[in-house]
Amino acid sequence: MPLFLIGNFRVTISRMKSFQTSTLIHAPAERIWQLLTEASQYTTWNTTVESIEGRIAPSETVTVRPRLNPGRAFPVKVTEFVPPRTMVWTGGMPLGLFRGQRTFTLKQNANGTTDFDMRETFSGLLSPLIERSIPDLQPAFDQFAADLKKQAETL
Strand 99-108 to strand 114-123: parallel, antiparallel, or no bridges (unpaired)? antiparallel
Give the chain's end-to-end CA distance (angstroms, integer): 45
96-122 mean pLDDT: 97
Does 139 have pLDDT greater than 90? yes
Where is 140: in which H helix or E strand? helix 138-154
- Rounded to two decimals, the pTM is 0.88
pLDDT of residue 78: 98
Residue-wise pLDDT for 57-66, tens only, equals 999 999 999 9
Does 67 have pLDDT greater than 90? yes
- Domain annotation for the chain: domains and CATH numbers: 15-154 (3.30.530.20)
The percent of residues in the chain predicted with pLDDT above 90, rounded, is: 80
pLDDT of residue 70: 87
Where is 143: in which H helix or E strand? helix 138-154
Strand 9-12 to strand 86-92: parallel, antiparallel, or no bridges (unpaired)? unpaired
pLDDT of residue 1: 45
The sign of the torsion formed by the CA atoms of 140, 141, 146, 148 equals: positive
